[in-house]
Structure 1
Amino acid sequence: MEFDERLHALAVKVSSQAAAVETEEATKNAFVMPFISSILGYDVFNPAEVIPEFTADVGIKRGEKVDYAIVHDGDIQILIECKASLGSLKIEHASQLFRYFAATNARIAALTNGVVWQFYTDLDAPNRMDAKPFLVLDLRDVDETVLPELQKLSKANFDLGSIISAAEELKYVGALKRAIAAEFRTPSDEWVKFFTTRVYEGSYTQRVRQQFTALVPKATSQFLSERVNERLKAALTAGDQHPPQTPPVTSIEAAEDDLSQDPEIVTTMEELQGFRIVKAIACAVVDSRRVTQRDAKSYFAVLLDDNNRQPIARLHFNGKQKYLGLLDEEKNETRHPIEALDEIYAHAGSIRSAAARYA
């Protein structure tokens, strides 16, 4: 599997199992070691690559240990401190990382509970770990923009110079994105006042503040939804600009095409987002312009060459339980229950096999 596929597969596992992993040791076994192995690419059972319970006495501190030290080209490059997955991460949890960072050659430190990974370096002062991470990865909500930088930490692509040079921008861009996201979720008084004074000409009274505290998040939510809708529509339109040549449509196919004109058929945002994921997976083996979609009453079909006889996958999103439908060579469909759209990535191999079968 490709890097992003392995990451999304682990993200699905973390999302489904995090609530059941209660201890630090269980977190290491269930989430941290698989991350080191499958994402970073190091052999967790080879002490020349991964040193568990790493000890480096610092000053008067003796016998303290950091959970993992990762070795690359004979030098310790990454230190990892783990906490239980049910707990939130705080900078206080990183006290040992601060001390060990100065005592080793490592330029990268990671604090994790298996779900969230916070990566640190020494931008503010040489050989002294920063108080704020330069990269944050939340496996419950993967930010695709950080994946290229995360990949530079992997064994096959380790590039410390590039990581450090990009770390300052990553640090502040990431912090700004998290601050903006927090304002969208729960707007502060300053955020509400900032927008209110631009649309309301009266005095900013207590009553006005209360009124706009409800209106501002509603407006931002609608704005974001509209922008996502526009981007999806633009992407889908662009994909249809060069329609492929398809075989003549039979009467059965024509009848099914007519379903797309049924006013009872409503294409949802989730279906469009699911389509984009399937299309992104399938384009590894076929031209992305050949991957098309048709909506019907009972399911949303992803097709090759807009041909109903060449189904890549079906999205059954009309009920409370969502299903991803995958078809074998005989067109027999197997429905796989999914809770979140990211779980589609776990079936990337079957999706690509279906697309390649027709191609």
Structure 2
Amino acid sequence: MDFIDQLRVLASRIAVTKSLIQTEEATKNAMIMPLIQALGYNPFDPFEVTPELVADVGTKKGEKVDYAILKDGKPIILFECKKAGAELNISHAGQLFRYFHVTAARFGVLTNGLTYKFFTDLEQPNKMDEKPFFEFNILDFKDRDVEELKKFAKSAFDVDSILVGANDLKYIRSIKQVLASWMTNPSEDFVRLVAGDLISGKRFTPAIKDQFTAITKQAFEQLIGERINQRLKGAMTPDPVSAPEPVTEIEAVASGEPVIVTAEEELEGFYAVRAMLRGVVASKRVVIRDAQSYCAVLLDDNNRKPICRLRFNNPQKLRLGMFNDKKEEEIISIESVDEIFNYEDRLKATVAAYLGSKDAEASS
């Protein structure tokens, strides 16, 4: 099984069980140790992964770090763990800071089993930075995140190559934060820069500042919206295997079959669901099956694995059928097809439950 597939299996299991994890020990056993194992390290071999590694740090005796991954008997990655859902402020990483200073490890990880924050010493040698250079969320990761995490795997681990990339990651992270702040609240200096050529020869008055601040925010919103639409159009491109051709009423009548017409809104809703689930399951496994009263969206074209139902027969009264863990349908009224995106988390959880079940694994 590929590394990304191992992560998806782990993510699907965590999505279903995270509400049951109430303690730090349970978090370690159910979430953190499996990820360490996915990276290729044996958490049950004390020569490779040592739990509660002890060291004397200055006047503090018997300091412990939750896990230390070892290479040639020396720590290379340190883990400090909190219970699932706990905050991961830098103030919670005191032991990690102290232990980082007295070991050969170049990487420290602060985690609550859901989010993993990776630290190193880019600012000052042998002193752990206060800001992580990389974050990984097991329930919300992209391909590029997996590629970065893979660098810490046993088979690929190389300190120098990770450190080269870490410096770039740190700056990319900071730039993204600045850009995000400009999107929601553009600074005066940024607005001046944007408006400079457009108001050439005019004074940058308070009125012009207010006008261009609002315009800049609108421009950002439109640009992001256009980029999202472009990505969605790519994601919604019909799959020749599982995306059906619309059936016209004339074709249905001619064939003698019951009149079942796949409406444009139903196809649009199907492609929206498929797009949202791309990070959880391969698109070709998300299949549409039309019926007279609703359009079913299924996993693996299996009616025992319903993802949702699109009840769009009445364009003036769109309804969405969602399923709970007992496969009971809840019918929700929506104003437009776009509102399906409001239920992305529930759709992902439904698919994750199927992927985590024994019968889903057997049929995959």
Match of 1:34 in 2: 34
Secondary structure of 1:129 counterpart: coil
1:259 and 2:251 correspond: no
1:271 paired residue among 270, 273, 276:
273
Match of 1:231 in 2: 231
Task: Give the Cα–Cα distance (whole angstroms) in 1 for the partners of residues 323 and 68 of structure 2.
Answer: 41
Task: Give the Cα–Cα distance (whole angstroms) in 1 for the partners of residues 155 and 258 of structure 2.
Answer: 48
Match of 2:295 in 1: 299
Match of 2:103 in 1: 104
Secondary structure of 1:63 counterpart: strand
Task: Give the Cα–Cα distance (whole angstroms) in 2 for the partners of residues 253 and 125 of structure 1.
Answer: 77
Task: Give the Cα–Cα distance (whole angstroms) in 1 for the partners of residues 108 and 65 of structure 2.
Answer: 10
Match of 2:172 in 1: 173
Task: Give the Cα–Cα distance (whole angstroms) in 1 for the partners of residues 218 and 35 of structure 2.
Answer: 37
Match of 1:157 in 2: 156
Closer, same or farther: CA 210–351 of 1 in aligned 2, 3 Å: farther
Match of 1:331 in 2: none
Closer, same or farther: CA 276–119 of 1 in aligned 2, 3 Å: closer
Closer, same or farther: CA 211–120 of 1 in aligned 2, 3 Å: same
Report the alpha carbon displacement of residue 220 of structure 1 after superposing the two structures with TM: 4.3
1:9 and 2:9 correspond: yes
Task: Give the Cα–Cα distance (whole angstroms) in 2 for the partners of residues 14 and 211 of structure 1.
Answer: 47
Closer, same or farther: CA 23–199 of 1 in aligned 2, 3 Å: farther
Q: Is the 8 A contact 2:15 2:352 kept in 1?
A: no
Task: Give the Cα–Cα distance (whole angstroms) in 2 for the partners of residues 195 and 84 of structure 1.
Answer: 45
Letter in 2 for 1:299: C
Closer, same or farther: CA 110–315 of 1 in aligned 2, 3 Å: same
Report the alpha carbon displacement of residue 281 of structure 1 after superposing the two structures with TM: 6.1
Give the gaps of 5 or more residues in structure 2. 244-250, 311-318, 331-343
Report the alpha carbon displacement of residue 27 of structure 1 after superposing the two structures with TM: 2.6
Secondary structure of 2:108 counterpart: strand
> Aligned residues: percent identity?
36
Report the alpha carbon displacement of residue 22 of structure 1 after superposing the two structures with TM: 4.0
Task: Give the Cα–Cα distance (whole angstroms) in 1 for the partners of residues 154 and 259 of structure 2.
Answer: 49
Render the CA deviation track for 1:267-289: whole Å, top value 9, x for unaligned: 13632414745873659xxxxxx
1:60 and 2:59 correspond: yes
Report the alpha carbon displacement of residue 169 of structure 1 after superposing the two structures with TM: 0.9
Q: Is the 8 A contact 1:281 1:348 kept in 2?
A: no
Aligned residues: 327
Secondary structure of 1:62 counterpart: strand
Render the CA deviation track for 1:35-83: whole Å, top value 9, x for unaligned: 222x323222221121111111122221111111111343311101112
Letter in 2 for 1:95: G
Closer, same or farther: CA 225–159 of 1 in aligned 2, 3 Å: same
Closer, same or farther: CA 86–164 of 1 in aligned 2, 3 Å: same
Secondary structure of 2:122 counterpart: coil
Closer, same or farther: CA 101–63 of 1 in aligned 2, 3 Å: same
Task: Give the Cα–Cα distance (whole angstroms) in 2 for the partners of residues 48 and 121 of structure 1.
Answer: 23
Report the alpha carbon displacement of residue 215 of structure 1 after superposing the two structures with TM: 8.0
Closer, same or farther: CA 320–264 of 1 in aligned 2, 3 Å: closer
Match of 1:147 in 2: 146
Report the alpha carbon displacement of residue 199 of structure 1 after superposing the two structures with TM: 12
Match of 1:128 in 2: 127
TM-score relative to the length of structure 1? 0.68
Report the alpha carbon displacement of residue 170 of structure 1 after superposing the two structures with TM: 1.4
1:51 and 2:50 correspond: yes
Q: Is the 8 A contact 2:188 2:209 kept in 1?
A: no
Q: Is the 8 A contact 2:13 2:352 kept in 1?
A: no
Report the alpha carbon displacement of residue 121 of structure 1 after superposing the two structures with TM: 1.5
Letter in 2 for 1:65: K
**More displaced 10-residue stretch of structure 1: 250-259 or 152-161:** 250-259
RMSD: 4.6
Closer, same or farther: CA 137–203 of 1 in aligned 2, 3 Å: farther
Secondary structure of 2:136 counterpart: strand
Task: Give the Cα–Cα distance (whole angstroms) in 2 for the partners of residues 157 and 253 of structure 1.
Answer: 60
TM-score relative to the length of structure 2? 0.68
Letter in 2 for 1:172: Y
